[in-house]
Structure 1
Amino acid sequence: MKKKTLVLALGLASLVATAHAADMDLLPQKPLQYLDPLPDSLTWHGITFYATLDVGYAYQTNGRPTGAVVSTLEYSPFTTTRNFTGQSISTIAANGLQQSNIGIKIDTPIGRDWNIVGRLETGFDPLTGQLSDGCSSFVQNAGVSYAAQTSNADSGRCGQALNGVAFGGISNPLFGTLTVGRQQSFQLDEIAIYDPMNLSYAFSLLGYSGTDGGSGSTEAARWDNSAKYVYQYGPVHAGVMYSDGGQNTGMFGNAYGFNAGGNYKGFSLDGVYTKEHGAVNLQSAVNDTVGSTALAANISDNTAWSIMAKYTFDFGGHTVSPMYTKAAKAPEAPGDKLTLFAGYTHIDQANPNTPILSGTTAGSYVLAVSGTLPDNNAFTTDKILQIYWAGAKYEMASGLSFTGAYYHVNQNSYVADSAACVAGGASKTDCAGAYDQVAFLVDYIVTKHLDVYTGVTWAQVTNGLASGFPGTPGAKFGTAGTGTSIDTATWMTGFRLKI
């Protein structure tokens, strides 16, 4: 039924595009353009309603069937679920370019250059209509054998009414912007700008995994109970952020972060420093007992810093002349652009200074409690992740763009729960390992509200980062082997509708 629904939706989109093409008007002083029936925005007194729907179809060479909660693919093997079993998957998929969402943005003047600002947003699964709930997918797969596992993924979106952001504050061009509430970390803010794939779930490590955005812990990519201040002076900006953390959030302790950056002509540069205490890292669902509703988790103190840059070559506009007489002055159409991206993040995870013995994480999910859970000794020696990325995006004035990207991760060999990696290779998850991903994406902006896309990606984990997958040492339910790497390739095509 889902496949028929997608085919019908794609067919309707094609009919709409054809109808638009038939209605193209040669306007006296405008270039060719598709007529768009939707308004530019739905705004009333500075309050703007917005929504995004991202659906499509995907094929994956090595994956897991979609589930009742996470109904889309696990796009990358950089995951705690260790879920890939060599099974090819062909399925309706969602959120290839971004999380489908619905929200309200506030930017209302109150006088003397002061504005009230804010945003309320929640993500949802467009294939089921449910709010995004990664934590529930772990409950659904608790203790289930690899052969029966379905898609599941750690996330800070755990069924909360507002699982995206929920903040408000004040802004002034002279004094800056101060906001409070549930907000994205500076790290997540900045990698969204400097990732060539713009945090695409299907084609970007930085988008699919919250490890970088959460400075080591996916659930800490968005900070509850936080305050953020950002100041802009000409081309330079700086900011500071603080969170109390607490129960029902992604971290039990406090956190703080700093951001500074600027731009000059086509060049932009940003740096971020983050410190988080008591961050939650969910363990694979196969580690839980069957029927368990509590989540097994490691607790860590995270320290991260990053540097990111991009440069845009603007090739300038060109005169739109065929539509004009000699008496009419032809306007200049926008030109093509080429943007180069690069970034580096260094993450250090250590045992928490203040051990967490019990509690609830994001979405009010209870953490499993036993002699070793929550695990406060998962980083007896520090775990170090080094994340590198680079890419390029070529945007044509016609609305067509081409993006290529490469992502790489190095993990050190560290001691977990006082047991060192002895045999090396993929014998344990705390052995040294690596991740590599290459991706290519073609996107076409049909109108301001609709784009269609297709892309391919290949990713591989080796040694410690591959350990625990079926076919490698440490895998459960009789699926252990001697393999030292796991890889998967994914192709996806779809459309994104934005209002």
Structure 2
Amino acid sequence: MKRTLVLALAIASQVAAAHAADVDPFAVKSQFKDPLPDSLTWQGVTLFATLDLGAAYQTNGRPLGSVVSGLEYIPFTTTRNYTGQSISTITHSALEQSKIGVKIDEPLAFGWSAVGRADTGFDPLTGKLSDGCSSILQNAGLVYTQQNSNADSGRCGQAFNGVLYGGLSNKQYGTLTIGRQNSLQLDGIGAYDPMALSYAFSLLGYSGTNGGSGSTQAARWNNSAKYVYDFGPITAGAMYSNGGSNSGMFGNGYGLMVGGHYGGFSAQVNYTKEHGAVNLQSAVNDAVGSQTLAANISDNTTWSAMAKYTWQLGGSSPASYPTKARMAETPSDKFSIFAGYTHVDQANPSSPVLFGDAAGGYVLTSSATLPDNDAFTTDKVLQFFWAGAKYEWAWGLSVTGAYYHVNQNSYVADGAPCVAGGASKTDCSGNYDQVSLLADYVLSKHFDVYAGATYARVTNGLASGFPGTPGAKFGFAGTGTSVDTASFVTGFRVKI
């Protein structure tokens, strides 16, 4: 952590000195030599990787686990294990999931190209593949004060827990890919989230609920085909999956997308339908030492609309660039605004699931009541709203601010409605709010440093089950109706 702070201070002092002397701010970046080539490509195959490491302080969290060693950054989660403990720790993947993979773009003939991608996320602090499902089993049946970090995830130790697909692309006819792929919804929010799906600073990044149309495990679809077509400024896409056990979605799913751009404006609307999606329950619902996972099953319907506008503001002051030729070589400052809305409807599955596996092959608990096919006796509705702004200076610094809000209705779970209200049950109405601020300084194409802060709060039904609320288990019940946490994170990211 000390080294990170020293590097950040050194960068800040050089930037200040550069501006004080009224010299080219690119001179600051030029002192940081980039030893890496622009890309590692051979015969149309490109190796890529991201390593994201840093340090963090959190006002209300849980100790790091041996499986999920990063923080549970926000309280919009199934784990509900925040007990007021502050955490200071090394962390990872705050801006972006640390990962390694390859992508393919090889011209064939007549304008056709073979395309593909394979990547997997890993924990650089333990050397293990990302495995959220294992982290829940590690905490199965433990009281909150004994739990460490754990989280539901579609990354559950698979060899390729990110994506794995291949296909064909043609500028005239579009792109068709088949395999394990991001849902169209996940692709969409990735393009229109001001925080670019950051785990530490974005609800949309840390929680897979929005990208999975209600179910984290369905954010990436196995056994899927995706087609995307560009017609001038218009883009359209369609996606289908036949689902199956061990995929996060037992039934089929389909999605539609239409988007477009004009000048600095771009927008997109999505529609998604999923059948038999997996929603893992909190670890406290599993028996101590359990090797199976308790889960709810749902049919999900989602529609969303999102947009952004970018202004090109010109380069830095003419005093720094005395010749027109030098100014022409200088990229522009940019200012972007973002906004989006997602409506998620979860209902009981039309085809009940009685047994099977979650993502990564983890066996679901099978009993008279599990998997739970009646967790949404009446539909659960989540409404996501987000907005943000980002200013990018041509010399490498960007500053981003974002706000996220979620509203949950009062619904009936397992035939039992919310009666007492407040945080008495998880199916009572509730809200989530988060505000984040991030500064990121790109020193080269392959290296950047960052620092930021975020504050998040859940109330009423979305806070139920946390220690100190009426819905808490194992003797930790109380009268509270809200839970909040603040996180401060700094780090660096290396990309090839």
TM-score of the superposition, structure 1-length normalised?
0.94
Identity between Structure 1 and Structure 2 (%): 69
Q: Please tell me whether the aligned partners of residues 319 and 332 of structure 1 are also in contact (alpha carbons under 8 angstroms).
A: no
Q: Classify the secondary structure of the residue corresponding to 2:188.
A: helix
- Equivalent position of 1:384 in the other structure: 381
Q: Classify the secondary structure of the residue corresponding to 2:108.
A: strand
1:287 aligns to 2:276 (yes or no): no
Distance 1:7 1:130, change over 3 A: farther
Which of 324, 339, 348 in structure 2 is aligned with 1:342? 339
Q: Gaps (5+ residues) in structure 1?
A: 1-5, 20-28
- Equivalent position of 1:363 in the other structure: 360
Give runs of aligned pairs for residues 45-444 of structure 1, distance below 5 A. Answer: 45-317=43-315, 331-444=328-441
Q: Distance in 1 between matches of 2:25 and 2:469?
A: 61
Q: Please tell me whether the aligned partners of residues 74 and 152 of structure 1 are also in contact (alpha carbons under 8 angstroms).
A: yes
Q: Classify the secondary structure of the residue corresponding to 1:203.
A: coil
35-44 or 66-75, larger mean C-alpha shift: 35-44
Quote how far apart the aligned CAs of 1:474 are: 1.8
348-357 or 316-325, larger mean C-alpha shift: 316-325
Alignment size in residue pairs: 487
Q: Please tell me whether the aligned partners of residues 25 and 395 of structure 2 are also in contact (alpha carbons under 8 angstroms).
A: no
Q: Which amino acid in 2 is paired with 1:115?
A: S
Residues 334-379 of structure 1 deviation map (CA, whole Å, 9 limit, x = unaligned)? 1211100000000000000000000011100000011100000000
Q: Please tell me whether the aligned partners of residues 116 and 166 of structure 2 are also in contact (alpha carbons under 8 angstroms).
A: yes
Quote how far apart the aligned CAs of 1:489 are: 0.5
- Equivalent position of 1:454 in the other structure: 451
Q: Please tell me whether the aligned partners of residues 61 and 86 of structure 2 are also in contact (alpha carbons under 8 angstroms).
A: yes
Quote how far apart the aligned CAs of 1:477 are: 1.6
Distance 1:330 1:277, change over 3 A: closer
Q: Distance in 1 between matches of 2:25 and 2:377?
A: 65
TM-score of the superposition, structure 2-length normalised?
0.94
Quote how far apart the aligned CAs of 1:258 are: 0.3
Q: Classify the secondary structure of the residue corresponding to 1:159.
A: coil
Quote how far apart the aligned CAs of 1:398 are: 1.1
Q: Distance in 1 between matches of 2:109 and 2:319?
A: 45
Distance 1:67 1:329, change over 3 A: closer
Quote how far apart the aligned CAs of 1:8 are: 5.9
Residues 165-194 of structure 1 deviation map (CA, whole Å, 9 limit, x = unaligned)? 000000000000000000000000010010
Alpha-carbon RMSD: 2.3
Distance 1:234 1:294, change over 3 A: same
Q: Distance in 1 between matches of 2:467 and 2:138?
A: 20
Q: Which amino acid in 1 is paired with 2:451?
A: T
Quote how far apart the aligned CAs of 1:332 are: 3.9
Q: Which amino acid in 1 is paired with 2:487?
A: T
Q: Gaps (5+ residues) in structure 2?
A: 15-23
Q: Please tell me whether the aligned partners of residues 31 and 323 of structure 1 are also in contact (alpha carbons under 8 angstroms).
A: no
Q: Classify the secondary structure of the residue corresponding to 1:454.
A: strand
Q: Which amino acid in 2 is paired with 1:143?
A: G
Distance 1:109 1:357, change over 3 A: same
Q: Distance in 1 between matches of 2:420 and 2:480?
A: 14
Q: Which amino acid in 2 is paired with 1:157?
A: R
